[in-house]
């Protein structure tokens, strides 16, 4: 279809639709490779030195124009690159921006992993399930560390937003709806996580402020500390629903884009199932959840660590390809 559009400009009969559009100039022949909404699902032909990659181009058809003879002249459609278009005849240069975005997302993801792991370890050290007095003593003893974990959790939640926004820029041309769903799930997860941090801060305040001990009695204050940390745990489980859901569109986008190994996309989608199964079991069958938890951790760790490593080390294997051709653009 696009080839036919440019053949109209060249004054030739249209050829069958193709992912590569050929236009004849006055002195040379150049092939235009259209991406981001204008490429078919099949891989494009190999690039050569006269190939120009357009990542955000549009096809604009001009209306007929009056001529001197009183008639009208038909003008063929014109290719208009966007402001963010990258025009290059070097395939390596065409990968520069996608790889920059991927590695930027990888750096943000690494920050999420480091700060999130620190916060999780600290909470595990102070929380003693079913032991209010022991938990309260740990909170008082490690109050400074718990404050650091509070800040670390807010930091990792913020950087997770940066991760998904960067991945949105990288993958939105593959499927805009999936990319938007990915962002929406992360926004909900981050909002729940940040609000849920109030429980940890409340436990810290109750344990370290003598006013609460005097008003509630030592046993009552200890019980409140344990209750608040229990509520934080269940709040994380609710947020985990959306932490799992965002991996499904990410995995599907990775699978379809051609920029990542398909196995990585499949594992990311499996991680969604693992997260959701864990949440259901934690609420409905806690004993069974404890038995299944090692499998969940293995699947989730494999998927997210693999994605993190690939983003940091490789970036992308090639520029993400679009699988959608808008019919109103021709």
Sign of the Cα torsion 81, 85, 88, 94 reads negative
Rounded distance between C-alpha atoms, residue 122 and residue 148, angstroms: 9
- What pLDDT sits at residue 218? 87
Query: 0.75 cut: is pTM over it?
Result: no
> What DSSP state is assigned to residue 69?
T
Cβ distance 33 to 54 under 8 Å?
yes
108: phi then psi, degrees, rounded to nearest 5? -60, -40
- What pLDDT sits at residue 69? 66
Packed helices 286-313 and 96-126: angle between N→C axes, nearest 10 degrees? 150
∠287-305-105 over CA atoms, to 5°? Answer: 125
Rounded distance between C-alpha atoms, residue 267 and residue 303, angstroms: 5
69, burial (CB in 10 Å: exposed 0-12, middle 13-18, buried 19+): exposed
> What DSSP state is assigned to residue 40?
-
- What pLDDT sits at residue 65? 62
Tokens of 98: 């996608």
Query: Would you list the DSSP string of 98-127?
Result: HHHHHHHHHHHHHHHHHHHHHHHHHHHHH-
Using DSSP's 3-state secondary structure scheme, residue 87 falls into: coil
Segments making up each domain of the chain, as ranges: 2-94, 96-313
- What pLDDT sits at residue 318? 81
Q: Tell the residue number behind the tokens 């938007």, with chain if given.
A: 180
Count the neighbouring beta carbons within 10 Å of the beta carbon of residue 51: 19
CA distances from 305 to 46, 251, 261 (A): 32, 13, 14
CA distances from 270 to 93, 273, 299 (A): 34, 5, 7
- What pLDDT sits at residue 319? 78
Of 240, 204, 235, 216, nearest in space to 127 by CA: 204
- What pLDDT sits at residue 93? 65
Q: Tell the residue number behind the tokens 């929406």, with chain if given.
A: 184
74: phi then psi, degrees, rounded to nearest 5? -85, 130
Rounded distance between C-alpha atoms, residue 32 and residue 87, angstroms: 10
* Beta strands 51-54 and 78-80, pairing class: unpaired
- What pLDDT sits at residue 122? 94
- What pLDDT sits at residue 263? 95
- What pLDDT sits at residue 15? 43
Using DSSP's 3-state secondary structure scheme, residue 325 falls into: coil
Residues 6 or more apart whose Cβ sits within 8 Å of residue 328: none
Rounded distance between C-alpha atoms, residue 309 and residue 321, angstroms: 22
What residues of the chain score a pLDDT lower than 70?
1-93, 321-330
């Amino acid at each position: 279809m696009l080839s036919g559009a440019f053949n109209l400009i060249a004054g030739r009969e249209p050829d069958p639709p193709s992912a590569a559009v050929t236009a004849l100039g006055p002195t040379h022949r150049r092939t235009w490779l259209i991406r981001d909404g204008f490429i078919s699902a099949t891989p494009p032909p190999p690039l050569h030195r006269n190939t120009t990659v357009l990542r955000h181009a549009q096809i604009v058809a001009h209306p007929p124009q009056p001529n001197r003879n009183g008639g009208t002249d038909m003008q063929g459609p014109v290719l208009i690159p966007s402001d963010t278009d990258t025009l290059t005849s070097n395939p390596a240069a065409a990968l520069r921006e996608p790889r920059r975005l991927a590695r930027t997302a990888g750096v943000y993801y690494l920050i999420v992993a480091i700060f999130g792991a620190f916060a999780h370890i600290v909470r595990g050290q102070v929380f003693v399930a079913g032991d209010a007095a022991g938990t309260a003593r740990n909170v008082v003893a490690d109050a400074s560390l718990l404050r650091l974990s509070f800040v670390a959790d807010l930091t990792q939640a913020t950087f997770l937003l940066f991760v998904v926004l960067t991945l949105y820029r990288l993958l939105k041309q593959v499927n805009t709806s999936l990319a938007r769903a990915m962002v929406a799930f992360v926004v909900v997860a981050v909002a729940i996580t940040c609000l849920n941090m109030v429980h940890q801060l409340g436990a810290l305040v109750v344990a370290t402020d003598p006013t609460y001990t005097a008003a509630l009695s030592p046993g009552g204050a200890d019980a409140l500390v344990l209750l608040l940390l229990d509520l934080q745990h269940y709040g994380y489980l609710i947020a985990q629903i959306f932490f799992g859901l965002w991996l499904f569109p990410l995995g599907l986008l990775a699978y379809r884009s051609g920029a990542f190994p398909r196995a990585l996309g499949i594992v990311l989608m499996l991680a969604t199932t693992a997260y959701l199964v864990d949440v259901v079991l934690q609420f409905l069958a806690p004993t069974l959840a404890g038995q299944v938890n090692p499998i969940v951790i293995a699947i989730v760790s494999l998927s997210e660590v693999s994605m993190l490593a690939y983003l940091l080390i490789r970036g992308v294997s090639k520029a993400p390809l679009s699988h959608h051709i808008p019919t109103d653009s021709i």
